Amino acid sequence: MTTLFGWGPMFDCPSPSPFVMKSDIQLQMLGVDFDRAIADLEAVSKHKAPYVEDDGQIIQDSNFIRAHFEKKLGRSLNDGLTPREQALSWALERMAEGHLNAVMAGERWMNEANFRKGPASFFMGAPEPMRETVIRETLDTMRQTRWQSGIGRHSHDEQLQLAGFDLAAIAAQLSDRLFLLGDEPTVADASISAVLISCATPYFDTPLVEMVHAHANLPGYIRRMRESYLPEGVWPELQMA
């Protein structure tokens, strides 16, 4: 039995986490029969989602989830791709997950209004008297982490400019194709579409929404991936309190 742990629809996205969406899509691409369940971050050592329980074994992180099932099934999501396409796929994934995603997360967590509207809901389970302290400490840690990584040293406008470079690269690669490498979705589409969905949600007040829509080919691409892999009603409801 295989279970993917994460979160379902929130913030007008199939999941608040692009990495949960990515793993959901990749498991489907691999043909894995799996269930979905709400994550308990205290139950796993890395305290992050997604994670998978596969026949009693816990696998954490979307990249290791993919690697686990590729080894188990004896096939790879790179099958059918040329070495050049494999390299391009990995580079696109790393750009979107490591760079564009960092800007997107900043728009949600570092903007007070967006935070209160969105991520603050993750803390509703904390006892009310200490909730604001937990929130403040979490945000302070995130600011420090962002500063150390470099993204937090840039002004807001500079961060958005960097995101614009990423979006332009993705749009150029997509061009007039249905998917990043052709008429059928491949491995990179799982990562890229998940981050784009997260950037483009109108739930948050962020220039990223208009920046995505400024590229005529990206909204349709997002729609195709959502319709193909991320239907509504497959995740259990998350109880926030």
Kindly report, residue by residue over 221-230, the tens digit of the pLDDT.
999 999 999 9
Least confident of 12-26, 120-134, 189-203, 221-235: 120-134
What is the Cα–Cα distance from 181 to 88, expressed in whole angstroms? 9
φ/ψ of 199, rounded to 5, equals: -70, -35
The residue segments making up the domain with residue 6 are 2-229
Number of H helices, E strands in the chain: 10, 4
Nearest CA among 235, 240, 195, 233 for reference residue 5: 235
Residue 88, classified by CB atoms within 10 Å of its CB into exposed (0-12), middle (13-18) or buried (19+), is middle
DSSP readout, 64-82?
HHHHHHHHHHT--TTTT--
As a whole number, mean pLDDT of residues 186-204 equals 98
* Side-chain-facing half-sphere of 22: CA atoms under 13 Å: 27
Predicted local distance difference test score (pLDDT) of residue 190: 98
In a domain, residue 239? The reply is no
In a domain, residue 241? The reply is no
Q: Are 193 and 180 in contact (CB under 8 A)?
A: no
Predicted local distance difference test score (pLDDT) of residue 94: 96
Predicted local distance difference test score (pLDDT) of residue 41: 93
In a domain, residue 234? The reply is no
Q: What is the CATH number of the domain that holds 52?
A: 1.20.1050.10
Confidence bin at 103 (pLDDT 50/70/90): very high
Q: Is it the case that residue 239 has pLDDT exceeding 80?
A: no
In a domain, residue 240? The reply is no
Predicted local distance difference test score (pLDDT) of residue 129: 85
Q: Are 62 and 23 in contact (CB under 8 A)?
A: yes
Least confident of 40-49, 122-131, 211-220: 122-131
In a domain, residue 145? The reply is yes
Predicted local distance difference test score (pLDDT) of residue 240: 54
Nearest CA among 113, 101, 211 for reference residue 146: 101
Rounded to two decimals, the pTM is 0.95
What is the Cα–Cα distance from 30 to 17, expressed in whole angstroms? 20
Q: How many domains does the chain divide into?
A: 1
In a domain, residue 209? The reply is yes
Q: Convert the pLDDT of each residue in 5-51 to its tens digit.
A: 999 999 999 999 999 999 999 999 999 999 999 999 999 999 999 99
Q: Convert the pLDDT of each residue in 57-94 to its tens digit.
A: 999 999 999 999 999 999 999 999 999 999 999 999 99
| Pairing assessment for the beta strands 51-54 and 35-38 based on DSSP bridges | unpaired
Q: What is the dihedral of CA 197, 102, 48, 239, to 10 degrees?
A: -50
What is the Cα–Cα distance from 45 to 185, expressed in whole angstroms? 32
